[in-house]
Structure 1
Amino acid sequence: MSSVPSTFRFLVAESETPDAREERRKSVGRSSGETYLDILLRLTPGAACDRIQPADAEAALPPGASLAGYDAVFLTGSPLHLYEETPETRRTIGFMRAVFAAGTPSFGSCAGLQVATVAAGGSVRPNARSPEAAFARRIAPTEAGRAHPLLAGRPAAYDAPAIHTDEVEALPPGSTLLAGNRVTAVQAAEIRFDGGLFWGVQYHPEIGLDEVAGALRRQADTLVEAGLARDREDVEAYARQVDALHREPGRRDLAWRLGLDEQVTDERLRLAEMRNFIEALARLGREGLLAVDR
């Protein structure tokens, strides 16, 4: 994997609830924030990375730290429903508004995009068509997306790991739609709000196929209820194939059976958006990235 050696200081914001974090650890051995930390340290050797759980009542930055003191904030996936009024969603949205106000560039996936959307005045809803489970198919960049550095290297249509039951209903003012597909209209976007900048995707470039399989198993009942599988055994059979491809990514028979290509099976290509965000930050600097024209 190519990397960007740096002395960046990054903050990972993990908005999973404590129960969701533990459930994910039991399933795949790590929380969403721990997955992000692992990827960031591989993409940016030497970076200093902190983690915060903004949905938690006692969440706090490390002593002496401020949001403005970080080079970037990364927002992970989460089972929170941002259209529900709960203490957890209020805290998470408030945290994201503070990130925008601090002028610290941010990146997020799945619920991260939804959090940034709601914080900046947009809206989120349950998926209007169907849950996207395992993979988002045939994602197509918009005209703006084809020219945007977030999607550099992505082809005219591509698949990506994804599992979500909510989606962006309306992007806030000051946003640019970068990609979508038949199931989910907003698959990638840039959001500018209150002096801050967010680049994000609805899918999960950060997760490997083992985590895709784990997510399928955790949400098996939801997938059956949505009509995507006849029963939990169907979900398990599919998850086993995904797991097998994770162990042997060169198996063309499994990739063919699952309808996947190197955009998913090649980790370097799969991580395109995270790498592009970090490389833009390295090339332009924090203030330069904020100043780039939409």
Structure 2
Amino acid sequence: MTSYLVAQSELPEEREKRRERAGKSAGETYKATLEQLQPGARIDIASPADADSRRFRPNEIADYDAVFITGSPMHVYHETAEVDRQLDFMRAVFASGVPSFGSCAGLQVAAAAAGGKVRRMPERMEAGIARRISATQAGRKHPLLAGRPGSWDAPAIHGDEVEELPCGGTLLASNGATRIQAAEIKYDKGIFWGVQYHPELALGEIAVALRAQADDLLEAGLANAKEQVLSRADEIEALHKNPTDRALRWSIGIDGEFADERQRRREIVNFLGCASQLRR
């Protein structure tokens, strides 16, 4: 039986808040997505940042076919016990040789664990839609981005970013807001594919996140009034309910790469298709 380990860095209070808003923790969202893409797979969820969490050794992680690192509010440049535990877990994943994939904070965790740098975005957040993501020369040939057009939009909400990839990192995609939008990282015995955006999320979850962080978006200068944030959240929620609505797509300024669930999940699908070949 195929088995996956999903690692969430949300702490218990953060998980409960997300369940109240969106119905699932970040790890539970990933599990639901993987269950749809790989029916019958065994999917376990771990919370390695928690003080009382199980400490995974590389040989224990080696029992899995792949590991997924979720997004979260964690700031990996802060020196805390929670961050240390999350980075230790990621280094154990690399040491196991099991291929891994992550989004948003997942990319940041992998980069930091391998020696890269993460920072708060110096100018603004990226929220709702990451616009005009474009593959680098390396990315155009990389299987993670197979099937993506020259430029695409994706769901995103983050105020931190990878500033510098570690040695062994390859930049695969960028846009005007965040230079490192997709990357491959080779470290120790492992390989990681990751993106700064959120291919695992339903659009309804992005709408929920926008409403929850409306004050942060105002402070970042992405909107002039809370009503503007709520209006965009309403549009994205409406698209979640009716992704083929042409008028709504035109109003938001997106195409099927963002609106269609299968296309939105393309990087996860590509990773799953390559995972067995990536094991080292």
Unaligned 5+ segments in structure 1 are 1-6
Which residue of 50, 54, 58 maps to 1:60?
A: 54
- The aligned residue for residue 259 of structure 2 is 265
- The aligned residue for residue 109 of structure 1 is 103
1:96 correspondence with 2:54: no
Distance 1:61 1:92, change over 3 A: closer
Q: Determine what percentage of the aligned residue pairs are the same residue.
A: 56
TM-score, scaled relative to structure 2: 0.97
- The aligned residue for residue 183 of structure 2 is 189
- The aligned residue for residue 180 of structure 1 is 174
- The aligned residue for residue 211 of structure 1 is 205
- Give the Cα separation in 1 of the matches to 2:199 and 2:139: 16
| Cα displacement (A) at 1:231 | 2.5
- Give the Cα separation in 2 of the matches to 1:148 and 1:104: 19
- The aligned residue for residue 230 of structure 1 is 224
- Give the Cα separation in 2 of the matches to 1:106 and 1:128: 28
- The aligned residue for residue 289 of structure 1 is 278
Q: Retained in 1: the 8 A contact 2:133–2:174?
A: yes
- The aligned residue for residue 4 of structure 1 is none
| Cα displacement (A) at 1:254 | 1.2
State the AA in 2 paired with 1:215.
Answer: A
Q: Retained in 2: the 8 A contact 1:159–1:264?
A: yes
SS in 2 for 1:176: strand
State the AA in 2 paired with 1:103.
Answer: G
1:152 correspondence with 2:146: yes
| Cα displacement (A) at 1:268 | 0.6
| Cα displacement (A) at 1:232 | 2.1
State the AA in 1 paired with 2:99.
Answer: P
1:45-91 Cα distance to aligned partner (Å, 9 max, x none) = 111110001110111179xx811111110000010001101111111
Deviates more, 1:239-248 or 1:113-122: 239-248
1:34 correspondence with 2:28: yes
Q: Retained in 2: the 8 A contact 1:52–1:61?
A: no
SS in 1 for 2:79: coil
What RMSD, in angstroms, separates the aligned Cα atoms of the two structures?
1.3
Unaligned 5+ segments in structure 2 are none
Q: Retained in 1: the 8 A contact 2:48–2:55?
A: no
Task: Say how many residue pairs are matched.
Answer: 278
TM-score, scaled relative to structure 1: 0.92
SS in 1 for 2:14: helix
State the AA in 1 paired with 2:35.
Answer: L
- Give the Cα separation in 2 of the matches to 1:129 and 1:233: 22
Q: Displaced runs of 4+ in structure 1, greater than 4 A?
A: none
- The aligned residue for residue 242 of structure 2 is 248
- Give the Cα separation in 1 of the matches to 2:122 and 2:38: 37
1:16 correspondence with 2:10: yes
- Give the Cα separation in 1 of the matches to 2:270 and 2:74: 27
State the AA in 1 paired with 2:267.
Answer: E
- Give the Cα separation in 2 of the matches to 1:264 and 1:233: 23
- Give the Cα separation in 2 of the matches to 1:187 and 1:133: 14
State the AA in 2 paired with 1:8.
Answer: T
State the AA in 2 paired with 1:81.
Answer: H
State the AA in 1 paired with 2:251.
Answer: R
SS in 1 for 2:62: helix
- Give the Cα separation in 1 of the matches to 2:76 and 2:212: 20
| Cα displacement (A) at 1:233 | 2.1
State the AA in 1 paired with 2:63.
Answer: G
| Cα displacement (A) at 1:229 | 1.3
- Give the Cα separation in 2 of the matches to 1:119 and 1:279: 25
Q: Retained in 1: the 8 A contact 2:207–2:237?
A: yes
Q: Retained in 1: the 8 A contact 2:114–2:187?
A: yes
- Give the Cα separation in 2 of the matches to 1:235 and 1:20: 22
